[in-house]
Each structure stands twice: as structure tokens, then as C-alpha cells.
Structure 1
């Protein structure tokens, strides 16, 4: 069929893309065979077709659907309730409701036409897109449904075990993105329910619910449930994103209100997990947007590798890494750049995501074979290792990347980052959350570090702190050195240019912030500057953390290479011995040390200074951190030098000798300790070698045993499978038997060979006073309601002699029952002399007996009726000597004619009452007793059928003879057969015919009265 033949031109409510390959014909026939033709959606079938094969799909599908089927031509406009088939040798896209065709490249294999179309469908239709994956081989369609999921569309996958070829359904299912996994025959109903759901159609969107306080409270409860399950506050996500995802789940679960969905979340942890995954939108791929990654390589990667001193590790942060593809992509870029520019510098990548499952998947580094479409062959061979139907990231890349669970909104950020990539995640956050995340990113980045965002993301108020490197690919560089608090209360447009000054190192950031916030900090600094001598505060590693005064005369200038803050590397050479000796003594003896008259050269002038080391512990605990204050006191001319009682006059030679002696003693102890350690290691090594030999021998034995166990295990597995099948059959048969027994009115009791109760049916408790606790008790311990004194004796005879007893008995309540006893044995030899179990069945036959007696009586009555048949007419006349007849007819001539016939009758007398209308007839019948009603079919505007309905409403049961001039063909046959006893045509009316009809009606009435009396007596 061509498009021009269809003139409806109705736009579709949804567009359904169906991807299939080998074995797809059967699946498509089942799908369309169970799909209504008026769903309002468009169905586009994308197949792998041979270029030399003329497809017969249109003709084959026509037998299974009423929808028109078109073969796609370029730029065709899709319509609702229609099927479109992609032609061979083509790739197909959809744009603004039009299907566009392009030739496949013959040198590019495989042709993933399903992926190509589904990705364009997701981009064009967004949440109105539906993707279906049916039978086929390979992985085509898997990448397409990822794009479908990201756009908010619905993903449906055929159950893999129902597919003729399960490659495509299996790969699609393993992504975890399928909303529905169904048989093709089940998909039609599910799609119709989904498309017609109010929230999906737009009749009652969730986004409108948020306007009411009640629904806002429900959404808050939903967010609380999600936060308990995933520790993520989804209230910080954009309401449109959250609403759209909830709408989809309402449609899939066929729920109408948020309250109903909240109840489902409360009862179903699985639904909570699904909704959480839906909101996280873990969709990504390698080198997503090739242009952006090429530009990143050009403008940023080389500059980052050569930044700083060229030796410090490069730190990268991939925020929102999902399943890890982007992190490994950036790792590949940096590894290639290192090799290209011959740069030997460590690159450490921190890849984080809030989704724990995504991080676990990324850590494994295993990806499906479909990544060949995203990664070049050279990169694939270099950085990935094939394993089965998947690829594993090489150890080289995996060492570069550290994966961790991290919430970028709430958790503290990383620091000193050279490149931060966060692509297509911020677009889902609310404005406040975005602002908070950008503050964290700003804090994490070094000055002149790079920020890599997604195509739809912008810096907003933070733009003043960044330069735009490339607007199109969203690459920015941090240029501001301002210190911004992580929680910014007001607009970030205010460019803060005055940084907070800190004299301490990063190891004491917390303490420095406390000092900065102290309102007396300025006063304290002034007092120290005026009264305290020059000094430096050291940590327990002797690194300088804070300086007071001028330390220039006592320290060296900065040299080449890495800068060290250790005091031993900073101190002047002529003070080195004194300082190191004093610090060593203070550390060893845990006391303050005072040296006086230490010779040194200050500003080129020989001088003497005093040196003091004070040890400061953070607490009284032995292992608490220590700090050291190294103080230099210069002797000014005219000063009176106050020496400490502990002060020692420094003798360089003596102190050097003492220091050498201490170092020698310490070295001897270290050598002795090292020798002991070596001997212990040698002994341990010998023991380990011996143990290793024993383990190797044991391993060989275990391998041999393992092979034997493996063989036995295979045999046991086979036997177990057979037993499982037998057990399944036995369980099913046992359930069938239990259901049959429990559904009958039979009382059945099973006794074992010791005449103890094994099992019984609930109905048997009506005759034997049994309870559940009586299982295992002897039968003679249980009382019964049977009027049968030989009950226990007969049970014994059946058990020992193998007899079968069957007889009618009475219960103490007067009911009749059929009692049957038969031997019950496991073996087939019932007749042996061994003692058997007994099967007792008791059946209530009271009704059967009653019916049997009633049938006998009825037979006698019918015999009497046959004998007296000749007297029936006379009897009937005697019984019905006087008959009241109501004539209902609007024709006066017909009424007079009927009266004349009755007056001429000599067998009985008749009382005639007349009615002209339906209302008058109903009133007469309700007021007086009428034996027979002669009824005309047409009564003015009413008919005889109206009369009968009115009589039923009044609950008046009067036999009716239809006396009409109408033909029976115009009357309702059901009315004639069910409501009318006899019909007489006015044209054929005569006295004999009228009297005979009256007799027939009265006879029918008499038989009916007899039957009713019989039924009453039976009850």
C-alpha cells in the first residue's frame, strides 16, 4: 500500500519503534495479531534485511492486522494507526514526524540500523517514544534503548526464552533498562493500557498534582521512601524530571493516583528500586559526543600534563560517572597524550557516582560487545581484552581510575583537581542544587583547572570565575583565586577578590579557620609581634606550620627542585647541628631544651644567640599529637640576658661528639634488630618452603579428588534432575488428589494396618467425630454418629480378611448414608493374609433415597393417569365447572363474538370480564381472580408484550391465550415460546377451537400445580 491511499492524516499519540532480525516474523505476527487497530500510535518496523531479498513482510502481516501497512519512502509523514516497514539497504531516521532514508555504507559492518533509528526516535519523540526489541541475533538495539531510556521513553523487550533467536532480547534485557519483559502476544494489551493511561495521555499529569497540598505531601513521602532505600534526596531533582518518571511508572503499573503509587512503593521494595534507577538515569557510552572529546584533547589534555612543576600527580574527577565509560574514555585520552608527548607523569582519576550498583559495574571494567560502535579498532585492541561476548578494560587503564560512591550534592568535594568532568547530570538538578554543586566544583579545582560540562549545561552565576575555552563543547577554565564558601547564601555574581590569609599549612586547615574567625586574632598577632622572639612552630615531623617574626636570618633561600618545609632542610648550615640536637633531645626526653651562646653568622656578622625548643602536646594522652616551638633569641647590645635554669651553654664540638655518639648507639641497636629480623625471616622462609611443598602435594591430591568428585557430581546432578521431575509430578498429583477429595461431599477415612487414622476428608467429620489432633489415634478411640453397632467389627474383618463391605445405614440424625469399607495396602496383593489398612467412604444418600421414593410415587401416579385417561376431560370439567375469562381487546366486535361462543357452551359456565386498554386489564387482574386471559396482540399504542411485562411487575400469574389478527412473523419468537401458552388467529376462531384451547390451558395449569406441590414436599 502507498501513503496516498490513506487519507486520514492523523498524527500519532506515540511512535513505536520495533527492532527485530532473525525469527522476527513469528514475533511480529503474534504482536500485531493481539494488538487493536485503533490504539492511536504509529508502528515502525526496523529489520535486518538482505539487500538481494524482496521482503514479503507486508503480505504476511496483512493477515494478522487491520491497520494499513506502508513501505517507507524518503520524507514520508507518519500517521496514527498505521505500520511502516523499513526497506533493505537503508538506514532510517525520524525527524519532526517524518521518516528519512539514507544508504548504508557497504564498507561498514555490522549495520546497526535498529540502534540508529531508536536513537533518532528517542531524540525526536522524547517521552512519547516506545522501543520494542524482538527476536534476533547480535546486540543491535541495545544502544538504542539506552537513548530511549534517557529521553524518558518506554522500553519493551521480548522474553528471551520465547524468542527463536535470543541474542537481541538477551542483550537488551541484560542492560537492566527494560520497563516490560513480555511475550509478543502479551505486548499489545500492555501497550494499550499504557498509552490510554490518564497520566500518559495527559488527562491527569502528575505535574499538576503538585499544586495541591495533599499531593505535595504524597511526593514528600515518596522522596522519603527513596532516600531510605538509596540515601539520595530526590527532592533536589527537577520536578519535571521526577514527575515524568513517576508518570511512566503510574502508566506501567496501571495506577490512577499518587496515593495508590505511594501504597505500591510501601508494599514493593522492587518498585522502590526501579523508581530509584529511573530517576538516576544511568545512561552513557564511550566517547559520548566525539567532537567534545576531540576538542578536550586539543585544548586541555596537553596543558594539564605540562602544568605545575611537571612532576606532581595529575588529579582528575569524573563526577556522575555512571557505569564508567566516560572515566575510561578520559583515561585513554591522557594515556595517548603521555605517549605522544613523552611525558612520564602519574595520572590519577577519581570516578564517582551516587548509584552504588553503577559504581560496582564500573569497577568490574566489563562491557558488552556493542562498544565496538563507540571505540576505534586501534583503541579497542590496545586498551581492551576480548572475553566471550564482552570486552574487559586493560589493567593499565584500571590502575589509573579509582571508583567510589559519592553524592556530589551533599558529600564533600575532592581537592586540587586539574580536570573535572560532569556531563549531562546537572540538567536534572534544581537551581539551588546546581548552585551548590558548582560551588563544590569551584572548591575542588585548582586555579587554571578545567571544567568539562554537557551540551545542555551552563555555569550560570559562576561564569564570572571561569573563562570559556570552547563554548560549543562546554569546556571552561577556572581563573579566579577567590575563596568561596561551600554554602553561598547570596548571589555568586559578586566577585570576591580578597582571599583569606592563612600562615599555616593545609594540614592544619581547621585550626587556622578557627583562628581567623576569632575576633581577638588581630590583637594576639600584634602582641606576639611586639613581645615574642622570632620562632617557628613545627609538627611532629619537624615540618614548619606557622612562623612568628622574621625567620630570614636563620633559614636558607629556596633552591631548585621540590620545596620542603622540614626545618632541617630550611635552617642555616651553622645552626643545623644545634637545631637538630635540640629537637632530638626534646623528642627523646619529652622535655624543653635551652641552648645559650650558640655561635652563628647573622647578616655577615659573627654573633651569639640563644636557642629554645618547647614541646607542646595536644592532650595528656601519651599518643596525642605533638608540636615543637623553635625559638631564636638574639643578644642585643645592652640587653641583660636572662638564662633559664635548664639552659646549657652550647659547645659545638662537644654537642657534635655527643650527637655522633647517640647516632652510633642508635645505629648499633638498629643493626642488632635488623639481624634478629633477618634470622626470623630466614626461619620463617624455611617453614614456608616446607609448608609450600606440603601444600603442593596436597593440591595434587585435591585435584585428583576434585576430578572424581566432579564426575560423581555430574552423575548426582543427572539423578537429581530426574528425582526433581518425579517429585514435581508427585507433588502435582498429590495436590490434584487433595483438591478432588476436599471438593467432594464424600467422607473418606484412611486407616493403616494398625487401624490408626492416617488421613481423612473434612466431610467425614459429619459422621465420625474427628479433629486434626486425632491423626495417629486408633479408630476405636473415636466416637461416631452412625446407627451401626457392627462398625468397628466390620473394620476389623476388612483389615484381617480383606473383605469389602458396602451397605446402607442410618445416622443418629435420621439421614441415610452409604457405607463402604475396602482393604488398603501398599502392595498389589490385597487378598493375602497379611493385615491391611482400611479405606472407609461414607456418602449421604438421603436425597437419593427421597428422589427414588418420589419417582416411585410419580410412576404410580402416571400409571393412574394413563388408566383414567378417558376420564380426564370429564374430571377437568368437573373441577373447573366455573371459569373466569378476561377478554382484553380494543375491538368491540371481537369481544361480542367471544362472548357469544362462551354463552353457547353447555359443558361449563363462564364469567366474562372485558378490558379495552392495557391499564384497565392490569387493574382487573390485580383486583380479581382470573383463570384464563384472552389477549389481543395490538392494544392501541401497546402490545401484548407490554401487558406481560406489567403482569410480571405486579407478580400476577395468569395463563394467557393470544387471540390476534397479527401474523406470528412480526412477533418476538422468544415472547411466544416463553410467555404465551396458546395462540389463536381471529380469522380461524370458532367455538370448538376456543373451548379446546381453554381446556388445554387449564390442563397445563393443573400439571404445573402438581409439580409445584411435589417440589415443595421435596424441600
Structure 2
């Protein structure tokens, strides 16, 4: 199957201009396939492919079932159809039934991340809502590249902003910038469709360059990625190198040195954030069945239930476990103390976990009942209920290098160990064992096991990877500060290749076989003459004695060999590096024979306190037989026997005496050795007691370190909350100080919580009135039923509004609104006073002026009309009705040209009202002549004035009519 990058593009409202701009700026030879998923109405046929085809030379096709992707083609999803990708083939299906609108973009991007890991590219353009945020996170976690349109350049910034806030976006650019970046990825070095780089990066000196990168990351971020998963390291490094247009690791290392901010970006990329609410629901059910019942059986009510989630990312895992725990406890939750800790290395992820606000897409993972009970709906998403949030503490922690928490009932570390190599896994698992209470449980990811730490944990649920802490007789070695092994190479030393190590193994095996076959047998001993290692067949020289087992060389030596061995070893211990004794007699089952032995001093141990010795044995050569004639030889032998018989007897006597003396010395030495052994045992007993005391002190130290870490974490959480509260308090104070509205926040008991400076001026309040009831204060308002109004607002949740007058005659608009907490709980009222005195008097003046004008119009002797902007009659005085013999019912609201059954449709009048008057604010003595059916021929002088009517918001035309027929 061909490997080429696939670009998934999601858009919604306002996405067409962004799509057109993107395709127009995109080259047609990128080697990528583009799949567009846009929210379209399923009730109408889509013309999107035709519109997009006008902006690109690439073929634009509508997706259909089983269509295989081809590079340099654009595919558009049909309206309202679920689109997925599998093995470079598109599949159509019905949308899944979820809460809210279908999440077509998330579904396609999720399938793209699974089908094309490492070569998937996700793009989110203009749109409202949060669809696409989860899909981009899945692509980024799978090693892909993600883009979002810059919110300022989008017609609707809801989708791009949600994707950015969710932490799944690497690059934020306008549509044209995204096209340029895609072109660079396609044609730059290390293009995304090239085969993955091998672990060695296949370049000279790559080991040194990789060490430089690790050193820079460790210096800048404080995290050592040396023992991180190599495939993840290489994949993420390859992505960053492509984006920076570098094809050599050495060049990228220099780039990191020049631009420290790139270290931060690389470090965040290496920290994988793949999580969601209730991921693998079966694991949470296993926790409910196996962990909670055991933990709360015969539990001390004063002992809190404690859980810890290392690598918590953005907090979904912590909140999911807490939700399951609260559901299990039911009504007992009020009497149960709960403490939850979430730790991670990423500060941005922790900030989102602390904010506890998640996009609307979580409705696909969280049931409606849980959403209603544990979440509060907000603009663009859901916020964790405050009661649940208060149980959690989030802090930055390196699980390898920082002290852990202690006395935990549950640790959930899912999909973290898979990114660590065995060196770190062997370090982390004993830490988890230490942190758990007896019987506490460890929950791992589906692809993780405890590995070599089976002696620390017992399996509870194989399928869901749930383990329980074992009680062990020994104490695992713990080190809360990670250090590289003693044999760690220098930073600038390249890694030895595995091939070189493999080439040495046959040579060592050959040396071992040659030594075993042709080398002399021997043993390696220490200063106490204890045998540490046997070399070759030593049976003819050494044999175990009956009784208690012992590896002491002298006790195992055959008869006749112990004295010579002791003497030779003593000589070497006194400073001689090598001692050889020949023709030493040894007695055995086959009789007496002679051997040669050799004692060599080996190199001292690293602490220079103990020496080691190599003792070798070999058979002495037999003297060659004489070649003299037999008769002469017999005579010679007889002479020698006669001459040496006396000397031989003397030597035997001397030997017997020496043996007795040596036997005495040996007995004395054995007695001394017994005494020394007893003293040694006493010293060893004392040492064991001291070691036990030391272990207790170390345990106490570790507990103190753990407690200190917990306090540090709690302090960090409190500091973060204090900063947030300080910022919110500053914002609130500035807001209240800058507003010119008198606002008072009251509790249910009408006690004052906070007020604005304007309220202080209007009601005469002071700082000392905080906490006092408003009813106890001399409020300068004529309002006697304030308590009843507050009760009405809090009971019925309906706003209250009324105009009230102060004692000095000033008028205000009093408004009462319910005061709601973040948890949507009612906790008092908000009282505002708007200054409406000027408006009140203006309305009164306007009312009086209107009454005066109406009276004036009524008393006018000349006919008078008031027209609106559409030339309809608003007002006519009695003189008009009398002069032109029309009724009020047929006049008011009628178009002026329709008066008198159309008799007022006078050309001169039209000229006046439609052409002359719009260009002049007023007109005097405009002559109009016309024949009326009822009153005959009339000559009239019209005086008109156009009023802007700003106070009333409409235009008015005042028209007076003077009848001058009799004057002609």
C-alpha cells in the first residue's frame, strides 16, 4: 500500500472562504491527499465540490464508499454522512447517536490518526462549536502534524479556538499560511511521507548529536529523556526537524542551542497527552468491583481514601476515577474523606486540569446522567462541578526523580510505562509499591505489565491490568533522585554499537573453553581463604568435609596440602606477588602423589580493602627412568640404600616432630579462629542492629520526603489558587471601580457582601457596613418592601424592577437579580440602582410639551396636519376636519394622498412632499390650487417643516394649510 500523507480538513460556519483561500494558495504537486469534512445540511445537495474546483487545479471529488485515496486529489465528504478512513480507503456510514450535533470532523480525524499514524495531518478552519478538537489531539498523539486557523482571521472562531484550548494544535496560522506550511512539509527535507528514520538516525556521529539534544532538553526543561521510548523520540524529533527544515540531527542540535524556545516545544511534543473521560470503561468497572469494596471494608472513618494518577495530562483520568468513587459511595460520600492527586510534567496540561473546563465533545464519552450530576454547562463546553474539583490537587512532578506520595489506596498509571525503557520501569514500580497502603491497588494500561516486579505485585484482573500490592519480607531499594548508572558514558562519547558487543561474545566463549580444557585447575579466594570461584576440575586436590558445609580452602584441601597452601598464601599476603611450590606430596584414594601449586595475587577490589588470590594446581612430572645396565644399577641402589638409611630415619623423626608441632599450632589457630568467629558474629549482630536502625531511619526519611512532597504539592496548588483569586479579585475591583452603576451584592439575609464606589455614594455606605444587613442601614430610598422583593426573587428566580425615589427627590431604577455561584446555586441577590432622574424629568418635560403642542394644535384656526416619514397622517386638528369636510376615522393613519377618496392626490402636493421638502428643512407659502368634490375649487398656501424627530426616533412633517381662495 502506498504511503503518502493524508490531510484531514474540518470546517463549519464561515469555512467556505477559508477553504477557497487554502486551496488557492496550495501547490498542486504536494504528493498529499486532502479530505474535507464540513458541516452541511443533509436536506440539500452539496455544491461544495464545484465551488472548490474553481480554486484549484487538483481534481475535486465527492467521497463515496470504497473510494481509494490518490495523492494530489481533493475529496469532499457528503452532507450529513459519517466519513472514516481505513487503509487509505474512504467509508461512509450513518452518524452515531450522541448528545448534541454529530461530530463528523472528530470521527474522521480519529480514524485518520489510527489509519495513517505518523503521516496524518489535521487542519481545523472557521466554524462554530468544538467539533475537531478531539480529532486533532488524536492526530498529534499518533505522531501527526496539526494546524488551526488563526482565530482572528476566521469568520467564526469557535472551532479553531476550541482546538487550541484543547492542546492539540501545533501551529496557528491563517489559511494562506497553512497552505505554505503544507507546501514546506511536502517539498522540504525529511518530508512526512518518507520512511521513518531508523533508531540510529543513520548519520555519522548521531550518538553524540542525540546526547547533545538530551543534554539541552535536560538543561532547559529539567526532564531527562535519555531512557524515554526510542521510537517516540525519533518520531517526534523527525517532526520537529521537518518543521525546521533540517535533515541532519547535528543541525537541529545547533538550532536548539540558538533558539531555547524550540527546546520547550520539543519537550512538550515528547510528553504524550492521550486521554479522555472513561477511556476503556471496562477498567473503571474493574476498579468498582475489586478496589472500592476492599478499600472500604472495615475502614476507619477517619482515614481518607487517597488516589494518585501519575501522568494525569489534562485531568480526565482523575475526574473519571472520582466520579466512579462518588457513584460507588452513594449517600455515604458525605461522611467519607477523599483526597485525589494528579501529577504531570506538562504545566499547560496541568493548567487545563486545574481549570476543569472541557469542550462539548466530552458528551460522546460521558453519559447524560453524569453530565447532569458532575458537570456544569458553560459557553462552549462543560465545567467540572466545584464539589468534585475541590477534591483534587494537581501539581508538576517527575515520577522518576521526585519523592512520591504515600499511603495511597489506588494508583492509576495508565499508558505511561510504555514510554519508559526497562531501566526506568524497574525504578518506578518499586516507588509505586512504596506509595501504596498494604492491599492497595495499581491500575496499568492495556499494553503494560509489572514486568520484572512480579515479586512486588499480585495480579487481580489480567484483562484490565489491575494489580495489588504484595507484602514482602525485604525492603526494595528506593532512590527518589534519579541518577544515571555508574557506567554511564560521557555526554560526548558515542553509543557502542550492538554489533561490536555481539562480536566479543564468541571470543569470550572460546577463551572459556580453552581455559577449561588446557589451563590448570584452581580456585579464587579472598583474604579469609574463602573460595569464591572454581576453575577447572579441582577434585584431585580439594574435597568437601563431612559436617557443616564450608568453602574454606584449608578445610577442603586434601591430606598433606594444607600446610604448603597456608605457607604459600601467607608468603603472598606478606608482599610476594607470586609463590610456587613444587613436588608437594598429596595423599588420596589412589595413593600418594606429588603436585606443584602456585599462588598469585589478583588486583584488589575497588575499595582497596580486600585482596583476592588465584591458587593453581598441576601434577608434578614423573622423573625419567635410568638407562644404565641392570646389574650396575642394582649395586648402585644397594649402596645408596645403605648410605641413606640412617639419614632417612633421622628425617622421618624430624618430620614426625614437625607434624606434631604443626598440629599443635593448628589447634591453637582453630581455637583463636573460633574466638575471632564469635567476636565477628557479635560484631555482625551489632551491625545488623545498626543496619535495622538505619533502615528505620531511611524509612522515616522517605516518609518525610513523601510528606514534604505532598505538602509542596498542596502548597503549589494553594499558590496557584491564590494567584487565580488575586487576579480575579483585581479584575473584579477594577470592574466595580470603573463602572458608574451603583451595585450591591447581598446574601439571602440581606447582608452586604460587596458594593461599588457608586453605591457607596448613592446609599451613603462605608467600608464598615460590609457584613451588615441593608435593612439596618438608613438607606435614602423610599422602598418599604425590599425584604419581600428579595424573597420573591430568590423563590421565583424572576428579576425584580421598579423605579424608586430618594428622599432628595432623585429618581433611580431599582433592579434585583438572583446571585448564582459557579455551581449554579442560588446564594443571594444582586441589587443595582440606575440613575434615571434626568430621563424621568425629560420624559415629564416631553409629556408636558406634547400636551402643550396638542392643545396648541387644537386651538389653531388654520387646518394643520402631522405626517410621519411615510407621509401617513398622525395628527389633524379640528379646523382641518371642518374645512375639508372629512372624518377623523378616514384621516388618521391614512396616506395623505388617499384622503377624501383620493382627492388629495395632488401633483403639486407630491412635488412639495417628495421633491422639494426633502431638500429643504422648511418651506413657506407654497401655492397649491385644486378642485374638491365637496368644497369646490380651492387656492391654498402650504407651509411645511421637516423635523428629524430624534427624541422619538422617527421623522415628522408639519403641514399647515391656509385657504386664500377668497383673497384672489
TM-score between the two structures when normalised by the length of structure 2: 0.49
**1 or 2 for the larger relative contact order (CA 8 Å, sep ≥6)?**
2
TM-score between the two structures when normalised by the length of structure 1: 0.47
Higher relative helix content: 1
